[in-house]
Every structure is written in C-alpha cells, then in structure tokens.
Amino acid sequence: MNLDKLEAIDDWSWSAPKAPGETRADVRLYASRDLVLHMDDKVLEQITNVAKLPGLVGAAMTMPDAHWGYGFPIGGVAAFDPDAGGIISAGGVGFDISCGIRCLRTDLTLADIEPVARPLADSLFETIPAGVGEEGDLRLAPRELDAVLRGGARWAVGMGYGEEADLEFIEERGCMADADPQCVSDLAKKRQRGEMGTLGSGNHYLEVQVVERIHDAEAAHAFGLTEGQVVVSIHCGSRGLGHQIGTDFLVSLARGAARLGISLPDRELACAPIRSAEGKQYIGAMNAAMNCALANRQILADLSRRVFRHFFPSASLETLFDVSHNTCKPETHIVNGRPRLLYVHRKGATRAFGPGHPSLPARYRGAGQPVIIGGSMGTGSYVLAGTAESEHRAFSSASHGAGRSMSRNQALKHWRGRELIDALAARGILIRTKSMRGAAEEAPGAYKDVDLVAEATERAGLARRVAFLRPKLCVKG
C-alpha cells in the first residue's frame, strides 16, 4: 500500500485523509508500518467506500490482518446505528456467514500424543468429513434443518452432540436470537441437507496444536492453558447454506438500496437500512446461518472428542471458546460517553470483549474474552484476550487470522501440494487432505507472518497475547 495516502496516528494505527470536498466518515487502519506496506491498495479503496455508507458510527476500520475481499475488505469492521438510517450489508458479513473457530483445551500433552500421532491424524481425517461439497453421515429433512437454524449449538447438544457445559463458552450461549428459517431460500437449505458436521475446504481446518509459549500467565491460568498442553482448533462456518444466503441477498439488498435511494460507492456493498423490510429479512437469514455454523462446530467438536477418546479413553476436551469472525451483531457500545445500540459488521474480524463485560462467562470475566488468531498449517496460532481499550478503539474487535498475503492462484505458482506436505512432515507437522491443489493454495508462505499480526493486534490495543500454539496435526479439505 502506498503510505503517501495515509497519515500515521502512532506506530500501530493510521488514518486516511479526506480529499477536498469529500464527504465520508473517518478511516482507521490498525497495523504496523510493515504490514500496511504489504497490504494491497484495494484494502484502502474498499474501507474508504465503507466510510461513505449511511448511518456509520465512528470510523470504518481494518484489522492488522486485512486484505482485499468482496465489498468490505477482509479484516473490516464498521458499526451502524439503526436509528440513524444505519445499514446492513451482505458484503460486510461475508459469504461464509459465521465462519469462526472452536478451541478445545485438553488434559493431554505433546508427550502423550507423539506415540500415536500418525494413527490419530488418520482417524481424525477419516472421521471429519472435509473437502469441497463433502457431505457427512447426518442427513436432515427440511423440518429438521429449520430446527438447526433456530437452535444452533443448543440443538446439537440436545441431539447428543457434546455437552451442556459447552454452551457457556460459545458466543450467545450457542444460539442467535431472531433467526428466521423462513427467510432462508429452499436452495440454501437444499445445499445444507448433507453438510452438517463437515469441515469444508479452503482455509478451513481441524488442527491439533501444542501450547508452546505463554505470554500472559494470569490470563493463561484463567483460560486453563499451560506450556506443553494439547489443544484442538476447529475452523469452519455455515457451509453451503451461508454461501447461498450471501448470494441470494446481494440481489435483494441491492434492490432495497435502489428503492430507498441509497447511493452505493461500490455495487459489492449492496445494503439496505437495518429497519427496512429487506434489512430485516437478511438479518433473519443471517442469524439462521450463524446458528447453522454454531451447530456445525458443535458437531465437529463432538466428533473430535470421540476420536481422541478412542486413543485416550479418559481424555478431557473442554470448550475453551467458540467465536465467529464473519458476522453483523447488535451490541451496546459506549459512544461519546453514552450507550448506543449498534450493528457491528465484522468481516474477517473477531469480537473481543474486555475484562468485566457482562456477556462473558464468569471464568473469563477477569481476564477478558478469549480471542483466537488462526495461523496457517505450518506456522502457528495465538490465543489472546480482549482488552478494555478495544471498546473505544474498535468496538471491541480484533484480528481473526494471519490474513492472506498472496492469492490462491499466486500460491499455486510457488508451491506443489505433495512437496509442501512432505516438507511439513519433516518438521513434525502431519497434514491430512484430499486435495493437493488445496494444500498448495493454503501454503504457509501465502499468508502474513502470524507473529507480526498478533504483535500488531496487541500493540494497537485490540487484544493482548496470551499463548502461542504450534501445529502438530492438521486436517484440511
């Protein structure tokens, strides 16, 4: 990115000056100088367009892992006031609605799993359906799927997938309110019939990781993390249903914008007022997709437990936390000293409530919300904790991952799947995948340096580092 287009606020945040006569809200980029330099100019163009949308409160902003996306940049955050004509945009949520990460802490160590690493990896790969269009054993009739879309992870627990205790450590306790299956098209439901309990493809994964380093001992204690401990991270979303909802509503939201005279700076920012008929319909469908994703991760967590308990019958796998990073959620935030209900778009960004927030489980209220920055399959991931400072800096938002630095097509020119998997195996990282092409597209070198992203996230006051997780086994689509 051309730094001449920006002004440094400090070493970890930047603004974009307005052109003479330009009418828009402020733009804020959170990142180090090096991370900003390596961002595509399209990131600035897209977040500047977001700043022109009606009803925006505060600045349109990007997280340190930001890169080009559809409509909003991935890593984009923007809050809108429904009482001031604020809008909701499918491009501000993303097509994989409620894509997120479920992290499970175990009572196992690296020494425990080393002797069975290969059969454990094989068993996880055989048990967890992964890949483009891959379906699982669970087939749902339309009425059953509607129950999923209303009940989320609570539905999954009720069906025997997992434990009631899981729900306390899932955002919204596992179920989004105001979900309306009637707002979801028959085609979207048809695409989901066989995809519950499946991982998907692309950057989705199930990864067995080891806590290699503790950054904040007090927060790590609250989160139940210690060095050498094994954790399991599951990264996936609402599968075909969420993608179809995104496609369906791009059309209806664009019509809503035209009907109400909203001038779109980019057609990919198709949107409608939150209070409009089109906006309400999208919210009903989006919340249904969020419940689909929460149920999906709940099922996958249960399948993972079953595999681990085959090898370690008495193993404990507790939910550390589950949070989405492609959402728009109604939240109360303090603006100019008073509380306001805002709809916060986070596309490729994670909610990061600070210490004391009333929605947090009692166990984490002193430390802040667990925040997970997922890395690539050959580098590592971070667990962080939300900060009080993030509330006024970014409506309690933080980075969600390393963020791509190279397109999938570019990655294919640099890596071959088989060679990459062999190289990672030589480093003690076992990959199981059905697609050599997919492995090449997700090469670690195609992503930003996760250490730099995590550092910038902390230095910018968005979340503080708690623990670094090194990958050991990874199942990819």
Question: Could you tell me if 329 and 190 are in contact, meaning their C-beta atoms sit under 8 angstroms apart?
Answer: no
Q: Residue 87 forms beta bridges with which residues?
A: 273
Alpha carbon distance 277, 258 (integer Å): 13
DSSP 3-state percent helix, strand, coil across the chain (nearest 5): 40, 25, 35
Catalytic: which of 67, 204, 235, 400? 400
Q: What's the rounded Cα separation, in Å, for the pair 75 and 62? A: 5
Phi and psi angles of residue 394, each rounded to the nearest 5 degrees, phi first? -150, 30
CA distance 229 to 111: 9
DSSP 9-23: EETTEEE-PPPTT--
DSSP symbols for 305-339: HHHHHHHSTT--EEEEEEEESEEEEEEEEEETTEE
Q: Are 376 and 450 in contact (CB under 8 A)?
A: yes
Q: Over the range 206-216, which residues count as b (16 or more CB within 10 Å of their CB) and which as e?
A: bbbbbbeebbb
Give the sign of the dihedral formed by CA 350, CA 355, CA 356, CA 361: positive
* 310 given a catalytic annotation: no
Distance CA(152)–CA(148), nearest Å, equals 5
Report phi then psi at 317, rounded to 5: -130, 95
Please choose, from the candidates 201, 235, 205, the residue with its C-alpha nearest in 3D space to the C-alpha of residue 100. Answer: 235
Written in H, E and C, the secondary structure of 254-278 is HHHHHHCCCCCCCHHHCEEECCCHH
Residue in 369, 398, 373, 375 with CA at minimum distance from that of residue 383: 373
Active site residues: 400
